[in-house]
């Protein structure tokens, strides 16, 4: 007899996020950073070795009779080049591999005030030698986006990038706050957007267009409504000219 097997959809642990409690990035984020460092070391080693071999044969393209000399040159120097490429790699790779786990343990996130007594905010803490704590109130957020690069997709994680009005208006590039190494990053992004829509009415994202709402002309004794309308039109024209300057 065939048994009906019900498929169970395992949802990400978004409950801890919506409760406002502190949560940490996934361990896949640690593995990704370790893998990326090792990958860069391999790329550096291949670039040095293959670059040396290619440069040795470069003269043989013009003068084919110099190929034996190029081969002899490679046989003479390939071991020292390979040795020093590995040494240089180890000089920077070992400290980086030691530092990455400490940095991973220092990261903490929160996307809502736990008690509800303070302004809703996004909280990010990270740092080993210098500990940085950022509090980004919801009222200052101007843009939210999610990102999953090549290594992120390889390890099944992503990040949420958050920009604020003051930060984007300065000469800084990139997002002000990044929630990195999250398995359920899309759910976190959607949760923040939903909270923003409650906090800001309306909250505009993407290509949404919010029609302008004209304020009613106040009734004031001694002033004609037409004069007030004309003054308002002049004010709008002056604002438009300032924006185009």
Please classify residue 104 by burial: count the beta carbons closer than 10 Å to its beta carbon, then call 0-12 exposed, 13-18 middle and 19+ buried.
buried
Q: Distance between CA 31 and CA 105 in Å, rounded?
A: 13
Q: Where are the domains of the chain?
A: 27-106, 109-199
Q: What is the pLDDT, as a whole number, of residue 17? A: 61
Q: What is the pLDDT, as a whole number, of residue 206? A: 44
Q: What is the DSSP letter of 53?
A: H
Q: Distance between CA 245 and CA 240 in Å, rounded?
A: 9
In a 13 Å sphere around the CA of 3, the CA atoms on its Cβ side amount to: 3
Q: What is the pLDDT, as a whole number, of residue 226? A: 65
Tell if the pTM clears 0.95, that is, is over it: no
Kindly write down the DSSP assignment for every residue of 180-210, as one continuous string.
EEETTHHHHHHHHHHHHHHHSSS---TT--P
| Angle at the Cα of 200 from the Cα atoms of 195 and 122, rounded to 5 degrees | 45
Q: What are 87's two structure tokens?
A: 């040494």
Give the three-class secondary structure for 121: strand
Q: What is the pLDDT, as a whole number, of residue 46? A: 94
User: Closest Cα to residue 21, out of 109, 133, 107, 141?
Assistant: 109
Helices (H), the chain: 15-18, 27-62, 67-106, 150-155, 165-169, 185-199, 225-244
143 within 8 A of 150, measured Cβ to Cβ: no
Q: Walk along the chain (245 residues) and give the pLDDT tens digit of each residue.
A: 444 444 433 344 566 565 667 888 999 999 999 999 999 999 999 999 999 888 887 766 666 677 778 788 888 888 999 999 999 999 999 999 999 999 999 999 988 755 555 557 888 999 999 999 988 888 888 888 899 999 999 999 999 999 887 654 555 666 788 999 999 888 888 888 887 777 655 544 444 444 444 445 455 555 456 676 777 777 777 777 666 66
Please classify residue 31 by burial: count the beta carbons closer than 10 Å to its beta carbon, then call 0-12 exposed, 13-18 middle and 19+ buried.
middle
99 within 8 A of 82, measured Cβ to Cβ: no
Q: Distance between CA 48 and CA 82 in Å, rounded?
A: 8
Please list, in sequence order, all residues whose beta carbon lies within 8 angstroms of the beta carbon of residue 110, skipping any fewer than 6 positions away: 20, 21, 22, 23, 122, 123
Give the three-class secondary structure for 108: strand
Q: In what order do the strands lie in the sheet with 108-110?
A: 108-110, 121-126, 132-137
Q: What is the pLDDT, as a whole number, of residue 199? A: 62
CATH match of 109-199 with 2.30.29: yes
């Amino acid at each position: 007899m065939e048994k009906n097997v019900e498929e169970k959809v395992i949802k990400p642990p978004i409950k801890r996020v919506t409760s406002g409690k502190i949560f940490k990035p996934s361990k896949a984020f640690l593995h990704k950073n370790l893998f990326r460092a090792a990958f860069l070391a391999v790329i550096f080693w291949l670039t040095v070795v293959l670059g040396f071999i290619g440069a040795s044969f470069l003269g043989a393209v013009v003068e084919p009779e110099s190929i034996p000399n190029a081969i002899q040159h490679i046989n003479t120097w390939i071991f020292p080049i390979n040795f020093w490429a590995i040494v240089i790699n180890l000089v920077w790779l070992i400290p980086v591999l030691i530092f990455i786990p400490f940095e991973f343990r220092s990261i903490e996130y929160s996307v809502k005030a736990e008690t509800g007594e303070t302004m809703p905010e996004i909280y990010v803490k990270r740092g080993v030698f210098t500990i940085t704590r950022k509090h980004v109130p919801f009222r200052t957020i101007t843009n939210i986006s999610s990102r999953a690069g090549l290594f992120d997709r390889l390890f099944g994680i992503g990040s949420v990038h958050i920009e604020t009005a003051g930060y984007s208006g300065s000469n800084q590039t990139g997002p002000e706050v990044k929630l990195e190494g999250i398995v359920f990053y899309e759910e976190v992004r959607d949760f923040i957007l939903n909270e923003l829509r409650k906090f800001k009415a309306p909250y505009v994202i993407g290509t949404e267009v919010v029609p302008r709402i004209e304020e009613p002309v106040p009734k004031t004794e001694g002033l004609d409504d037409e004069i007030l309308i004309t003054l308002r039109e002049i004010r709008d024209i002056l604002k438009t000219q300032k924006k185009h300057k």
